[in-house]
Amino acid sequence: MIAAAAPAGSGFGGPVGFGEVALALLLVAVALAVSRWREVGLESDLTVATVRSFVQLLAVGYALDFVFRGHGGFTLVVLAVMIATASLTSGSRAADVPSARPIAAASITVAGAATLGVLLALRIVPLSSRVVVPIGSMIISSAMNTTSLVMSRLCHDLAFNRREVEARLALGQPSRQAARPWQRAALRTGMLPTVDQTKVVGLVALPGAMTGMILAGASPLAAIRLQLLVMYMLLGGNAFAALVSGELTLRRLFTPDHQLIRTLRRTRL
């Protein structure tokens, strides 16, 4: 039982001990067995994933513990590392977009700063690293997904529909106007997953923040209040991310002379 393992007055260590974690590896062994038995070929990926997750989270655990124990000044460093990693990841998802990484960095930074800014300015959340780091990480990872979706969708759609885009340009429409239907679709693609998750929240899956609080022993009513806050902030954060990434991507896919960039025109589809 998880609760039984919780040491009194939880600090470092938390309610789950490393013994339990080691036992949970049995389930990884099940995955490995399935992979081998059915020739799925994921054994090495599973091993790498398991080892990586252990090392990464251990490092993050120590780092956060350090920050939360009176080194709140490092909060910005933690957020910056998260944004950098998210930008690299998102940027490589949309490799066809020129300057995909700077675009992702701008989009995720704006989403994170604006959303956290609103939460802090209205005193919805307290200015404490213990709150700002996890809240920020949720905004950043969600903004990362949105940014990847918007960049790759916009780039693909303009390349795929270039005949129509260029027909519009040939009639004298500015690039912004010529690309409008696809920019709209890309923003929609970027924002829709969060909207859908918000619609079915609690009915299909209990989301992370809420699950965590319940597992940690909080009352479900306290848990849903946090979850509502999280969902609403992600809706806003992703809207920022979609807006910024859509705008910046569009600017990189056309020249200042309202031409589709050559790489896009010559993409083989």
Q: Does 164 bind other proteins (CB under 8 A)?
A: yes
Phi, psi of 163, rounded to the nearest 5 degrees = -60, -45
Q: Does 153 bind other proteins (CB under 8 A)?
A: no
Q: What is the DSSP letter of 1?
A: -
104 and 91 in contact (C-beta within 8 Å)? yes
Task: Find the binder of other proteins among 8, 73, 163, 221 (CB under 8 A).
Answer: 163
CA 174 to chain centre: 33
Residue 104 or 178 with smaller CB distance to other proteins: 178
Q: Does 171 bind other proteins (CB under 8 A)?
A: yes
Contacts of 259 (CB under 8 A, 6+ apart): 169, 175
With both helix axes pointing from N to C terminus, report the angle between 129-160 and 180-200 in degrees, rounded to the nearest 10.
Answer: 140
Q: Does 108 bind other proteins (CB under 8 A)?
A: no
Segment lying near other proteins (by CB under 8 A), choices 44-52, 65-73, 164-172, 186-194: 164-172
Q: Does 251 bind other proteins (CB under 8 A)?
A: no
Query: Least CB distance from residue 175 to other proteins, whole Å?
Result: 10
Task: Find the binder of other proteins among 4, 172, 221, 269 (CB under 8 A).
Answer: 172
Q: Is residue 132 packed enough to be buried (19+ CB in 10 Å), middle (13-18) or exposed (0-12)?
A: buried
Which of 181, 149, 184, 150 has the alpha carbon at shortest distance from 165?
181
Residue 43 or 166 with smaller CB distance to other proteins: 166
Task: Find the binder of other proteins among 159, 168, 179, 242 (CB under 8 A).
Answer: 168
Residue 123 or 262 with smaller CB distance to other proteins: 262
- Residues forming the site for other proteins (CB under 8 A): 163-164, 166-174, 257-260, 262, 265-266
